[in-house]
Structure 1
Amino acid sequence: MTRPGDMDRDAFVARFGSVFEHSPWIAGQAWDAGLRPDTAEGLHAALVAVLRDAPHERQLALLNAHPDLAGKLAVRGELTADSTAEQASAGLDRCTPEEFARFTALNEAYKVKFGFPFILAVKGRTRAEILEAFERRIHHTPEEEFATALAQVERIALLRLKDLLS
């Protein structure tokens, strides 16, 4: 595999543009700034720096690019390959009807309250742990939850980078 620091812009964005859900602009801006370390952790820090420097509206758009957990897109098979694998790893593709109903109700209530979908790095978690986090976080303030959601997006990106660079 070609090292990130040796890639041209198009190859870099093609390889790392999906690390942040439907947001290749992050990889593009990192490349433009010369931020192309060769380790997952270093590349993650570079990409996160771009995200943190982005205006609030752009960060919100990134949050809104994420699918609902165990939501309609998953049921219809319309998630990205990464999201499909991550949700399946947590068993979200095997929800009972009761769990699915609970996820649906929480997804809707969360989006009404915060204006973006609930985001959690689900890899390595159980459905029960995810529902517990959902039920705890829905009581956050909008400011707390915006910061928490961005931190979870960053965690998802790190996990994806580790998979890409392993």
Structure 2
Amino acid sequence: MNNVFTRVSALNQDDFTTLFGALYEHSPWIAQEAWLARPFQNEDALLAAFRKVVAIAPSAAQMALIREHPELARKVGVDDTLTTASQNEQASAGLDRLTPAEHARFTASNEAYRAKFDMPFIICVRLSEKDHILNEMERRTRNTADEERRTALAEIDRIAAIRCRDVLKALETHA
């Protein structure tokens, strides 16, 4: 087992939750539950533990997790619940530098999406650009509620995987 994963597996539940609790937006309960699956042999095993917690969570908990995510492309300072990770991720896709016309289109698309699904649109913005995000938001508005719930959860897992890699890299750097 890699030294990083030996260290991660040896953490107590509180320390593990502190380290990985922010992978899923405002939902440290996922890390708390994933800790039970240790020891972790590698990154794949760690990520699988997080995904399993989300997959077997009751529907109400899954919807609460989805609703913890911020609306994309809000004007800076409007959403004080936006985590630093979300701010950085949105900035990486240029969502903090929209023209007035782009912001209006995002706002209209966000409102149409929320009206249909009663949840924020979720996409892994670190793997996307603003035009792709807008196109996906408009395309996915045609999905069924169940399709969109599944898609949102898959995107949340993608976001968490990238954040997890960031945490693991930091651990390797500070070994």
What per-residue deviation string (whole Å, max 9, x for no partner) do you get for residues 22-78 of structure 1? 0000111112x2335153322111011011110000000000000000025x44363
Q: Which residue of 1 aligns with 2:139?
A: 136
Give 1:164 shift.
0.9
Alpha-carbon distance in structure 1 between the residues aligned to 2:7 and 2:112: 43
Q: Which residue of 2 aligns with 1:29?
A: 33
Counterpart code for 1:157 = A
The runs of at least 4 consecutive aligned structure 1 residues that moved more than 2 Å come to 33-36, 38-41, 74-78
Task: Please give the root-mean-square deviation of Cα atoms over the aligned residues, in Å.
Answer: 1.6
Taking only the aligned residue pairs, the percentage that are identical comes to 47
Per the alignment, in what secondary structure is the counterpart of residue 21 of structure 1?
coil
Q: Which residue of 1 aligns with 2:67?
A: 64
Counterpart code for 1:45 = A
Contact 1:40/1:158, CA 8 A, preserved across alignment: no
What per-residue deviation string (whole Å, max 9, x for no partner) do you get for residues 136-163 of structure 1? 1011011111110110001101111111
Structure 1 gap ranges (5+): none
Q: Find out whether 1:161 has 2:164 as its counterpart.
A: yes
Q: Find out whether 1:55 has 2:58 as its counterpart.
A: yes
Give 1:9 shift.
1.0
Alpha-carbon distance in structure 2 between the residues aligned to 1:38 and 1:11: 18
Counterpart code for 1:103 = F
Alpha-carbon distance in structure 2 between the residues aligned to 1:138 and 1:77: 23
Per the alignment, in what secondary structure is the counterpart of residue 83 of structure 1?
helix
Q: Find out whether 1:76 has 2:82 as its counterpart.
A: no
Alpha-carbon distance in structure 2 between the residues aligned to 1:146 and 1:161: 22
Q: Which residue of 2 aligns with 1:114?
A: 117
TM-score, normalised relative to structure 1: 0.93
Give 1:109 shift.
1.1
Q: Which residue of 2 aligns with 1:11?
A: 15
TM-score, normalised relative to structure 2: 0.88
How many residue pairs were aligned? 164
